[in-house]
């Protein structure tokens, strides 16, 4: 199982939280967005990075909106 990160702004810096899976990383990002924290991206930590392994802030907000409407 690959490791994933969620990067977000904290004060003047950027912080990374680690997750065990892509789904867990998306869940973490959604919780951060619920708290009005500026999430930057989600990505895979291991192996060669494929551009599809990076989820940018725009896509994260779309996923967050879909979860709100589905919930």
CB 17 within 8 A of CB 5: yes
The pTM of the full predicted model, rounded to 2 decimals, is 0.86
Predicted confidence at residue 7, as pLDDT, reads 97
Predicted confidence at residue 57, as pLDDT, reads 94
pLDDT digits (tens, 9 = 90+) for 5-50: 999 999 999 999 999 999 999 999 999 999 999 999 999 987 767 7
Predicted confidence at residue 46, as pLDDT, reads 78
Q: What's 68's DSSP letter?
A: H
């Amino acid at each position: 199982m690959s490791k994933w990160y969620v990067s977000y702004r904290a004060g003047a810096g950027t912080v990374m939280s680690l997750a065990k899976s892509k789904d867990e990383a998306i869940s973490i990002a959604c919780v951060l967005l619920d708290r009005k924290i500026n999430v930057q991206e989600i990505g895979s930590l291991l192996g060669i990075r494929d551009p599809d392994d990076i989820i940018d802030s725009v896509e994260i907000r779309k996923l967050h909106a879909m979860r709100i409407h589905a919930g």
